[in-house]
Structure 1
Amino acid sequence: MCGIVGLFLKNSTLEPRFGELLAEMLVVMTGRGPDSAGFAVYGSGENGRIKLTVRGDDLDSIVADLGGDISGFIRDTHLVLTLPERDEQRVRDWLAASRPDLAVTGAGERIELYKEVGLPADVAKRFGLAGMSGTHGIGHTRMATESAVTTAGAHPFSTGTDQCLVHNGSLSNHRSLRRMLEPKGIRFSTDNDSEVAAGYLSWKLQEGATLAEALEASLDDLDGFFTFVVGTESGFAVLRDPVSCKPAVMAETDDYVAFGSEYRALAGLPGIQNARVFEPEPARVYAWERN
């Protein structure tokens, strides 16, 4: 039992309010997941440069230690580095060798990904979510029923550039999928089945599939019950398994598309009274892309 939220803005005038809206949605889902929370925000980016979101302690000296054309800012326990794309591997190698205690939670031109143990309201406040702007993003509140309550186990999971996933449910074949994906270059940092789902989509995208095609393929290859909400640099998608035992509701207006595990997560959105509110159908991919 976890809570999922997602928001995709069609109207750019709402972008300065994006974090405020997503934060409210996330906090409303506390009852479905009080152990930990996380979110990914797709904000501004620069061509030719990439952001790495790094999680851990003692972050103050990292920018200076790395040297070169790198900048960064700290939000609580996370550091967002911005660097030339050509330097990404150098920075990852340095982190692995010099600071193995740190974890890269997300990477891409526009994505920033934050997560921590604690009540969703506290996590959102610690990272200043309400003050962030963006075009789209996803969030998750976790109730850890099958594993320990840890920051590493919190969602979202990101295994590809500007890609992330949140998941409500359980996969029964994630171990065999992991064994299949690792020789293909997909790397995992936790034992969470949701990270394997993210890795599966990364592999399909690397093979040339569209996001919709990757999600459709997952219906054949992933066993279990699940609701996925996925973010990419330009898009937002939702998929439920063929049984769809996990609750889900969506709302669409001319200004946005929103997802929540329960309707109450959407109730505070502007213009919700005029939205088309619906339950996503089983085994059907819903996807939106930025113009």
Structure 2
Amino acid sequence: MCGIVGLFLKSPGLQAELGRLSADMLGIMSDRGPDSAGFAVYGTAAGDTTKLTLRIPEDVDASAMAAALGVTAVRRGDHAVVTVPRDAEGALRQALATRYPAVNIVSAGARIELYKGVGLPDAVSSRYGLPGMAGTHAIGHTRMATESAVTTHGAHPFSTGPDQCLVHNGSLSNHNALRRNLRREGLEFETENDSEVAAGYLTWRMRQGASLGEALEAAVGDLDGFYTFVVGTERGFGVLRDPIACKPAVMAETEDYVAFGSEYRALVPLPGIEQARLFEPAPGQVYFWEHAA
């Protein structure tokens, strides 16, 4: 079943509240998926740098690892965020693969931080400090595992490109064929989850020069099944439902924000929701909002 939330802030005055509002929305969706949860927050970029969010196994000392690699790691539960100059990202990835192969790179980009784990949304949000996070936009997901094991590895969001991530409610029927084709294009996948394939598809399209909106438009013809996608990029936030739109979805827009929820009750904690323009995203139609560069 699964539950999705998303919040794109137009007003800078709400940025300090992004994490708290997103955590409240995600917690309300608990009964749509109590197995695992995750979220991605887009904060402030620090010059010409890249942030890597890492998931650290229990048998790896994060502080010792950071010291050995010559980096500073900000620890949040079993995740840590490492910020390096953009031209040093490749060397760090190689060092991690060689010296710490059990450490998983969950996301990378100028602004994205991504966290996920097994448990109820409120517990996952608290574990990684979501209520205290600030930023411009965030997406979250609570999962009911129907096609794969209940693991952190299989939890959403999935990130397959810089500052890009996706959450998904539904099921794709052609994900195995797509995965084979995308691997031939150089993409790598860590799970058998169809949602990771959807994320990889969008990454592939965007590598070819498509905007997120254009990639989502192409997805309508290339992805078979039933789905609702909420996608984040460095500056943008997109929503797409399949042409049948059999999964529930509702959106709200005010002068201060755009919000998405699998159900209206997820939107209730938002300020000014009583005056918001409420609508159900239309089948097969791309919705996209973006901040100026």
Q: Which amino acid aligns with 1:92?
A: R
Q: For 1:141-152, what aligned pairs fall within 5 Å after superposition?
A: 141-152=142-153
Residue identity opposite 2:66 in structure 1? V
Count of residues in Structure 1 that have an aligned counterpart in Structure 2:
289
Q: Trace 1:222-241 onto structure 2 (pairs within 5 A).
A: 222-241=223-242
Alignment of 1:118-137 (within 5 A): 118-137=119-138
Is residue 2:53 matched to residue 1:53? yes
Cα distance in 2, alignment partners of residues 71 and 205 from structure 1: 31
- Give distance in 1, aligned partners of 2:155 and 2:10: 28
Note the 1:242-281 alignment, pairs <5 A.
Answer: 242-281=243-282
Which residue number in structure 1 is paired with residue 2 of structure 2?
A: 2
Query: SS of the residue aligned with 1:164?
Result: strand
1:36 aligns with 2:36: yes
Higher deviation after alignment, 83-92 or 151-160: 83-92
1:62 aligns with 2:57: no
Q: Name the residue aligned to 1:75.
A: 76
Gaps of 5+ in 2: none
Displacement after TM superposition at 1:100 (Å): 1.2
Shift of 1:56: 2.0
TM superposition score normalised by structure 2? 0.97
The CA distance in 2 between the partners of 1:265 and 1:62, in whole Å, is 39
Classify the secondary structure of the residue corresponding to 1:245.
coil
* Runs of 4 or more consecutive aligned structure 1 residues displaced over 6 Å after TM superposition: none
Per-residue deviation at 1:268?
Answer: 0.9
Instruction: Tell me the CA shift for residue 247 of structure 1.
Output: 0.2
Give the corresponding residue for 2:174.
173
- Alignment match, 2:19: 19
Report the Cα offset of residue 77 of structure 1. 0.5
Identity of paired residues, percent?
Answer: 63
What amino acid sits opposite 2:126 in the alignment? K
- Structure 1 stretches of 5 or more lacking a match? none
How far did 1:103 drift? Answer: 0.7
Other structure's SS at 1:194 match? helix
SS in 1 for 2:29: helix
CA distance in structure 2 between the aligned counterparts of 1:47 and 1:240, rounded to whole angstroms:
35
C-alpha RMSD of the superposition = 0.7
- CA–CA distance in structure 2, aligned partners of residues 73 and 56 of structure 1: 12
CA contact 2:48–2:86 (8 Å) conserved in 1? yes
Cα distance in 1, alignment partners of residues 248 and 87 from structure 2: 43
